[in-house]
Amino acid sequence: MDNRAIQALANRILDNLEQVIIGKRDALEMVLLGLFCRGHILIEDVPGTGKTMIAKSLAISLGGKFSRIQFTPDMLPSDVTGISMYNQAEQIFEYRPGPIMAEVVLADEINRATPKTQSALLEAMEERQVTVDGKTHILPTAFIVFATQNPIEYEGTFPLPEAQLDRFLLKVRIGYPSFVDEIRVLDSQQFSHPIEKLVSVTSIEELKDAQASVKNVLISDPIKQYIVSIVEATRENKEILLGASPRGSLGLYRAGQVYATLRGRDYVIPDDIKHITAPVLSHRIVLHPSARIKDIDKDMVIQEIIDRVEVPLHP
């Protein structure tokens, strides 16, 4: 699949998603980066901004299966992965798949589950398989997880450790709609929800072709050096306690290829990397307590790093 075909596919999916999620094309583009990179997405936002609708709409657009897991403190790992049950008629144990066996999985309020249950999901994200009673079960090829967190209510939650946050390719914020867009939301739902009219615009096979083809996008040596310089700067910044891992470099590399494709190019430029640095790296760094006291947030630190790292003259 050539770049024009990938860009056309991406635009079809974006246009379809925008029938449901109005006025948030930038956030939806970040979702596509995760999809085409075969990465997972962490969405941290207040309730009612469309987190669930994004995942549902994407599943419909792909013609894939959607599954929602509502995480609670009493949830067990088997509630995610599935269980083996004894079939008396056949006298064998049969695997009963859990909700993880779907193309698009919404892990709603993942930080409300215990670390043991969180680990069951995150193992599936990394290995793309689950093991139940010693038997391995492969997840769907287009498997993608949307994990949500509420940034306001932390009581009774179990925050994801840094090592587990690192498994997510992107952290996406949706935010409230503008005044005009919120009126459009009201109009669109006057008689029914727009997701009820949504149809598939591609297939899993076409998506797999795009995921493989996007890796052919050229990233020159100066751009690779630029990526690593940005990630290294997070490890040396005085406001950062823990910098980004090599997964951060790889995330910028892969997401940069997809972002360049969405812009109609078969090569990556520095502006592509600048645009995706915050979504790819913000959840991978830990600020010093002194930075929080000074009211410095992660986005501010990342922007400072982008401003300071030398941009290659000949990308």
pLDDT digits (tens, 9 = 90+) for 148-203: 987 766 666 788 888 888 889 999 989 899 999 999 999 999 888 999 999 999 99
Helix (H) / strand (E) containing 126: helix 115-127
* Among 297, 295, 296, 262, CA closest to 276: 262
pLDDT of residue 86: 81
CA distance 70 to 68: 6
φ, ψ dihedrals at 50, nearest 5°? 105, 20
Class in CATH terms, 217-308: mainly alpha
Is a pLDDT exceeding 70 seen at residue 122?
A: yes
* Domain locations in the chain as residue ranges: 3-211, 217-308
Judge whether 98 and 83 are in contact, CB under 8 Å. Answer: yes
Radius of gyration of the chain (CA): 20
- Return the SS3 of 77: coil
Model pLDDT, residue 262: 92
Q: Is 3-211 in CATH node 3.40.50.300? A: yes
Answer for the pair 169, 255: CB distance below 8 angstroms, yes or no: yes
